[in-house]
A and B are shown apart, each in its own frame.
Chain A
């Protein structure tokens, strides 16, 4: 397994851990026993806005820790720049994640049109965003594994 593949695996695992921990935290602190809050628009606004800096900082910290451990174990540096194949793989995986997220967004709008609660729409958008992120990383991993 090369450096890029290991980095992608770290990204997948860290994303699952960060999102899992954040959802659990929000559920325990605000949602448990108070399900009416799910239909409060400001709750969703705050939840999404807080997730962005939390996820960015946590990803940076995890990647720094990974880089240090990787350097100690393999004595190799993480490549600092991407070449043309890396960029093409990145583009293809972004394209896949874009379509998944758009599908999730359309599904959320269908739920709204059918008269579902706003919470269903927000949960659908959140879940589709997470799935899009995961599928994008998995697609990248597959592209690197098979060459392109």
Chain B
């Protein structure tokens, strides 16, 4: 399994949203708590639909929740 290049700020955003729990976020986005945990730990990259749902819960643009760490890939392709 390749390294996940999508980084996220979900932990920080949950803290800023009055310490929203993983379960509450899961309920509001229609997935399980385990899926939120896997995304937060960078083990699973969500679909675009779920990514937008998470951004909607925090009322922030998508790029404030997720970012793509392309640095490593660019370095590889330049070699």
Q: Which A residues lie at the B interface, using CB under 8 A?
A: 2, 4, 79, 83-86, 144, 146-148
Contact = CB atoms under 8 A, between A and B. Distances in A.
A84 B38 contact: no
Contact of B44 (A2, A4, A147): A147
11 contacts: A2-B34, A4-B32, A84-B31, A84-B35, A84-B46, A84-B50, A85-B32, A144-B34, A147-B37, A147-B43, A148-B43
B2 to A, nearest CB: 11
Contacts of B41: 147
B38 A85 contact: yes
If over half of A's interface residues share one DSSP class (helix, strand or loop), that class is named, otherwise mixed; here it is helix
Interface of B: 1, 30-32, 34-35, 37-38, 41, 43-44, 46-47, 50
Contact of B32 (A79, A147, A148): A79
A133 B14 CA distance: 39
Contacts of B30: 83
Contacts of A79: 32
Contacts of A146: 43
Contacts of A147: 37-38, 41, 43-44
A85 B37 CA distance: 11
Given A147-B38, A148-B38, A83 B32 contact: yes
A144 B33 CA distance: 12
A19 B73 CA distance: 48
A9 B34 CA distance: 17
Contacts of B35: 83-86
Contacts of A83: 30-32, 35
Nearest to A83: B31
Contacts of B37: 147
Nearest to A5: B34
Q: What 3 pairs across the A-B complex have the smallest Cβ distances?
A: A147-B43, A147-B38, A83-B31
Contacts of B44: 85, 147-148
A86 B32 contact: yes
Contacts of A86: 32, 35
Nearest to B40: A147
Contacts of B38: 85, 147-148
